Structure 1
Amino acid sequence: MMTMDAVGAGTSDGRFIHVFGRDFPRDLFMARLFYLLYFASFGSLFPLLAIYFKQLGMTAAQAGVLLGCRPLVEFAAGPFWGVFAERFRKGKVLLLFSLGAFIVSTLAIGFVQPITPYCVVLDKNDTGGECKLLVPADKIVRGGALGYLKEATGFGRRKRDTANRIIDTIIDLSSYDGDGGMRIGQAPQYITSEKVCNYDEEIYGVLVSPPHSTRVYREPAVQQAFMLLLLLIALGEFFSSPTLPLADGCILNLVTDQPREFGKIRLFGSIGWGVAMFIIGIGLDYSDTFRNHPCPTKNTTEKNYILCFVTCTILAAAAMLVATQLRFGQEHEQHRPDEVGGLVMDTQINEVDPAVAEKARGKQLRTNETREQNEWRAALKAMMNIHFILYISGVLCVGFGAGNVFAFLFWYLQDLGGSPVLFGIASVVNHGAEIATYFYTFQIINKFGYMKTMYICLGANVARFLLTSWLSNPWMILPLQAVQGMVLAVVWATATSYVSLVSPPHLKGTTQRILQILYHGLGRGCGAMLGGVIISNLGVRAMFAILAFVTACVLGAIYGVNRMLKYDGIKYGHNFDDDDITYAPQGMPMGNAESKITDAFNQTSVVNTNYGTIGPDPQDDAYDRYVSNPYE
């Protein structure tokens, strides 16, 4: 039972929600519920989009472009929404608009499908089932001789012309012919005269048949659907990209006095993602019924993904309803969407002396675009350090692998015989390991240091990718998914804190922005695109083997150079608290952006010759309060 009381002072408005015998601060309860629903909406659809696109007859390269463009569009849209939000200061209105755009674009994606003009059947009348024929979808009589009799006599319906209709058994060409000489992961199959007796390219054109489906598409129709989907996804991502940064900024305002609570609240997103994917996996396993399917058959492995689109829409609508209850505060308290990412990474920045922070903000408001460009140039110049480049290359490599796994792991498991139930369980294992590992990140880094932690994570990825490429039993992916969850949790948490430690304080926000672009944009986005190209040409096993090789090369380069230069990296100080690390399931957009609040450090004069040592300038006291002895 849920009730609301206006007593106590657990939040700034003093209201509580009574749920199952316990009292929860209203604002924080709504924040947790929003993250739970919003991330659950993503988890119910987006991990499965690749295999949905495969069912539409698309190649891995096309699916990789459709999935990989999302983080790239998100980063490109950030500055626009930052200026827009700063000008109008209507955070809640913009949040609701972006959620509405997400719902509309998701529904639009579900309506885009190429027409199914043909089916492949076994001719039982003439050749005893020895020859496969291409037949128009509307000229097939289902149900054998009884079905033909019903069609001819008009029993139970209007009599139809059966003179030119055929009694046949519809088949899934990929399951009937095995892989047809194709490597695992390559799709779709092209119809040829060797596979289908009556096929003539001059008459029918270029036809393709996706695996796990009885449909046959014209290739030009698939390409048209791809272009339309690309447009819808790009537009949808552009208009919906402010959602998470705006919500993060709102929640950050609620936990100003206890910033470490933000990470714990964000944890509900991972819970929602994993649970939603698990439930959808079970439901999808039984969703093999289609209304007016052009090529119906029994025992098909084709799935009806309408369930995913409907669930995603309902959960997003519920999140939108909850968002109306989020309290954004006064207009001057609202953050630009492109500032929130740095704020999330730097939730202890309130230790800066208020006078210094206010003076820096005043100066920042008077800066022009040239100043911004100089900051980026200065940050890039500061990053031109061999140790920093090597470390970031390791982070980029992990992001590249994460993008490929997010896009094509289920694509691969489906071809190995994996069911949607397995996909759901794998998601729970992945996110469960990810959540559990976040609580031990501090201990791991403090024990091994940043570089050794990176060695461990890259080594784990090498083993994981190799074992994945050798899989024959799809259920063996479960322990590897646990490893993935741990690796992603450790790498992202350590990368954000590492950048904060080794960057000059007055450039920290810019370097955080660069880190996000490298990991979430180039890593995840370009990783999915390049991985799709590799799969289309060499197969998915080769893609994972190449990932293992590249990761091993990066690991060897980092280790070799650091050994040669006798560099072991840095550790946390004993009083450093990592509770403010951002929690987000893999594949989700982050609150991406530079944090202009970190410009409070602009008054410092830091000479950082090795880009890792924090100078003893008195004005850095706020920073030094929680960072000490950065090197081992």
Structure 2
Amino acid sequence: MKKSNMLSIKLKFLYVFQFAAMACFYPFLTYYFQSKGFSYTQIGIAMAVYSITGVITQPIWGVITDKYLDKRTSILITMVFSSLIIYLFVFVNGFYSILMSMIFLLMFQSSVNPLSDAYSYEIIDHNKDIQYGKVRLMGSFGYAVAALTIAQAVKYTSINSSFILFSITMLLGAIIVWSIDFKSKSHHSKMDISSIKNLMKDNRFSVFMISVIIVNISFGINGSYITVLIQKTGGDVSKLGILWFVLAISELPTLFLGNKLLNKFGELNLLMIGLVFYVLRYFLDSLSTSYTSVIIIQGMQSITYPLFLISSYQYMNKITPARMKSSVMTFFAAACGIGNFIGNIGGGILLEHISIFLLFRIISFICMICLIIVAILKRINVSIKEEKYINI
């Protein structure tokens, strides 16, 4: 078997286990907090802490990786520690104890995905027949299957079963990373502070990051409080498994066609298409009268999130230097975290005063604002291209 084929297979299994682990944890956090007696405001604060911890730790891991370590080593450290720390959730009680446990876990777990993405892109740069979309779709597949399975396990046993399975699948992912025969090249060209300063001065990067923060406000609200929407429309915890299964499995076709779509439409056009459907999706959620309709509407995930993901990653890799790939991926993840932080805490506070249906209308409007910003970003790109052409 060709080396590139073996690398592709191992990367796919890495994403299966990595996202299966996430499916054992994130979809049931709100349910876990409810089981501990948290109010909506406390849930909002807890989910905000979830986001802000990543905002702080992800760039740190990115800089450490680019400057001192290699991507493979960083992924192994974060995955192994995550698989051990998760057991704190089995034993802790009380709002502040749970918050501290979550912070400790996310110091490692929140960086697993961006570091894996950076590592995958580096491997792909040296193995052109491997496509990121086809690798990443296996993560969605793993997430879908795990979410459906874990929901049933939680319903008939306890929430602790999800934490145990998180540990197992994260360890399996670490074993896959350990077996990958590819040496990171990042240590040959070290990043420095001037590189970060130059990146921040690039209008394309700064405007793009603003759009990422804004759209992730809506993602944070949706991810944290769609549980409430399901409950308000007649569903229970077992329906959460179906919901997250539909969300994840619907991503597969678009991720599979990722390269073709990018070549045909371009990164920013794809991003704008995804945002248009986000506006529609969240507005339809706000009109739902049954959990069945909510779940059906989530099938629009097939267009929304995959287009956001592949277009964002491709755009970032196009405008940033190779020596900063890990840092840029973690900066992107941190921008997502900032938006999620605002959405989580703001959504929790708003839910104390407005209905879940009005909340989803608000996030539809937020996506509309982001769409306008991306249109501005597209104009900036056109101006830069015209300037380069004139200089030539």
Aligned to 1:131: none
Partner residue in 1 for 2:197: 374
Q: Of 146, 155, 158, which aligns to 1:276?
A: 146
Take 2:222 and 2:82, find their aligned partners in 1: how far apart are those partners? 24
Q: Does 1:266 align with 2:82?
A: no
Q: What is the letter of the counterpart of residue 197 of structure 2? A: N
Paired AA for residue 60 in structure 1: Y
- Find out whether 1:401 has 2:229 as its counterpart: no
CA distance in 1, matches of 2:373, 2:120: 38
- 1:523 correspondence with 2:347: no
Per the alignment, do residues 553 and 38 of structure 1 end up closer, same or farther by CA in structure 2, a change over 3 Å counting? closer
Instruction: Summarize the alignment of residues 16-55 of structure 1 with structure 2, pairs less than 5 Å apart.
Output: 25=6, 27-55=7-35
Over 3 Å counting, the alpha-carbon distance change for 1:256 and 1:102 in structure 2 is: same
Segment of structure 1 superposing worse, 403-412 or 314-323: 314-323
Matched residue type, 1:283: A
Q: CA distance change for structure 1 residues 112 and 457 in 2, over 3 Å: closer, same or farther?
A: same
In terms of Rg, which structure is larger? 1
1:227 is matched with: 96
1:85 deviates by 4.5
Q: Where does residue 57 of structure 2 map in the other structure?
A: 77
More strand by share: 1
Alpha-carbon contact 2:21-2:166 (below 8 Å) kept: yes
What RMSD in Å do the two structures reach over aligned CA positions?
4.0
What letter corresponds to residue 282 of structure 1 in structure 2?
Q
Q: What does residue 542 of structure 1 align with?
A: 358
Q: Name the structure, 1 or 2, with higher relative contact order (CA <8 Å, separation 6+).
A: 2
Instruction: Using structure 1 for the length normalisation, give the TM-score.
Output: 0.53
Partners of 1:39 and 1:273 within 8 A in 2: yes
Q: Which residue of 2 aligns with 1:430?
A: 247
Which residue does 1:236 correspond to in 2? 105
Q: Is residue 611 of structure 1 aligned with residue 387 of structure 2?
A: no
Report the CA distance between 1:256 and its aligned residue: 4.8
Q: Relative to structure 1, is the Cα distance of residues 376 and 61 closer, same or farther in structure 2, using a 3 angstrom cutoff?
A: farther
1:73: how far off? Answer: 2.4
CA drift of 1:546 comes to 1.8
CA distance 1:103–1:445, change in 2 (3 Å): closer
Count of aligned residue pairs for this structure pair: 391
More helix by share: 2
**Cross-structure match for 1:464:** 281
In the TM superposition, 1:46-195 aligns within 5 A as 46-82=26-62, 84-85=64-65, 89=69, 94-113=74-93
- The answer (yes or no) to whether the contact 2:82–2:108 under 8 Å persists in 1 is yes
Letter in 2 for 1:261: I
In the aligned structure 2, how far is the partner of 1:237 from the partner of 1:72? Answer: 10
Partner secondary structure for residue 31 of structure 2? helix
What TM-score do the two structures reach when normalised by structure 2? 0.81
User: Which residue number in structure 1 is paired with residue 293 of structure 2?
Assistant: 476
Q: Which runs of 5+ in 1 are unaligned?
A: 1-7, 13-23, 114-224, 288-303, 337-357, 571-607, 621-632
Match of 1:314 among 168, 178, 189: 168
Partner of 2:3: 11
Q: CA deviation at 1:467?
A: 2.4
Per-residue CA distance 1:377-402 (angstroms, 9 max, x = gap): 4225x667xxxx4x766554432222
In structure 2, runs of 5+ residues without a counterpart are: none
Relative to structure 1, the CA distance from residue 257 to residue 106 in structure 2 (aligned partners, 3 Å threshold; closer, same or farther) is same
How far apart are the structure 2 equivalents of 1:106 and 1:504?
34
Within 1, Cα distance between the matches of 2:326 and 2:165?
38
